[in-house]
């Protein structure tokens, strides 16, 4: 896929998550090189236990402001969590063909809108995750970490791929292989300073 053919990214918002340090049995021979799993899914990299109780998230199940995301951190666990920002690529692979999307196609309209604007510009982009997308609902599993496909695909230290073109290639591959119920989205992951 040529760089001039890459889809637009839409800012989904912020989440506070605790990166997961792989247990020895997850990657016993250290084949992946993963140090901290910073996946979009909550299966390994977890949000604070009571985050949903705040009920201030947007339709991407993220927070439109960093302040709203930071409010979900329990007072006694603040140092364990990182602030992340997410952008989704507006293209998926369904029924053997690429389909361009609109931001309004991504999630149901029963929650607040996605944040306006491009999102934070001063952040540390960690890479791209490939995430199951429940067409209108939440982003669910990240096969790179949840299904340990990081042992078969080159990933970085965060269990993410480094570029959008590779993430889109995996969107199609994971759909064809039925890794998890699809379809999939490529999501850019960045760590944002909390201050």
| Domain coverage including residue 147 | 3-192
C-alpha–C-alpha distance, residues 28 and 22, integer Å: 10
Question: How far is the CA of 9 from the CAs of 47, 57, 66, in angstroms?
Answer: 23, 20, 19
Q: How many structural domains is the chain composed of?
A: 1
Sign of CA dihedral 149, 131, 47, 73: positive
Q: Report the predicted TM-score, pTM, of the whole model to 2 decimal places.
A: 0.94
The two tokens of residue 67 are 């302040």
C-alpha–C-alpha distance, residues 23 and 34, integer Å: 11
Q: What is the DSSP letter of 161?
A: B
Contact 119/87 with Cβ under 8 angstroms? yes
pLDDT of residue 136: 62
Residue 2 neighbours by CB distance under 10 Å: 6
Sign of CA dihedral 171, 176, 177, 179: positive
C-alpha–C-alpha distance, residues 195 and 81, integer Å: 13
pLDDT of residue 12: 97
Q: What is the DSSP letter of 113?
A: P
Burial tier of 14 (Cβ tally within 10 Å: 0-12, 13-18, 19+): buried
Task: Output the 3-class SS for 62-109.
Answer: CECCHHHHHCCCCHHHHHHCEEEEEEEECEEEECCEEEECCHHHHECC
Q: For every one of its 195 residues, what pLDDT tens digit does the chain have, with 9 covering 90 and above? A: 544 689 999 999 999 999 999 999 999 998 999 999 999 999 999 999 988 888 899 999 999 999 999 999 998 887 899 999 999 999 999 999 999 999 988 888 888 999 999 999 999 999 999 999 876 677 889 999 999 999 999 999 999 999 999 999 999 999 888 778 778 999 999 999 987
Residues in the chain: 195
């Amino acid at each position: 896929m040529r760089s001039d053919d890459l889809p637009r990214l839409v800012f989904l918002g912020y989440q506070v998550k605790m990166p997961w340090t792989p247990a020895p049995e997850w990657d016993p021979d250290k084949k992946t090189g993963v140090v901290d799993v910073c996946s979009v899914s909550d299966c390994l990299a977890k949000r604070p236990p009571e985050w949903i109780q705040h009920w201030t998230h947007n339709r991407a199940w993220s927070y439109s402001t960093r302040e709203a995301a930071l409010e979900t951190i329990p007072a006694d666990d603040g140092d364990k969590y990182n602030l992340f920002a997410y952008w989704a690529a507006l293209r998926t692979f369904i029924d053997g063909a690429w389909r361009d999307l609109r931001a309004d196609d991504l999630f149901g309209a029963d929650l607040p809108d996605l944040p306006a604007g491009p999102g934070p510009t001063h952040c540390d982009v960690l890479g791209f995750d490939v995430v199951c997308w429940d067409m209108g609902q939440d982003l669910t599993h990240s096969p790179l970490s949840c299904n340990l496909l990081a042992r078969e695909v080159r990933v970085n230290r965060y269990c993410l791929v480094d570029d959008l073109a590779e993430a889109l290639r995996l969107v199609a591959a994971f759909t064809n292989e039925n890794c998890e119920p699809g379809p999939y989205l490529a999501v850019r992951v960045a760590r944002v300073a909390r201050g």
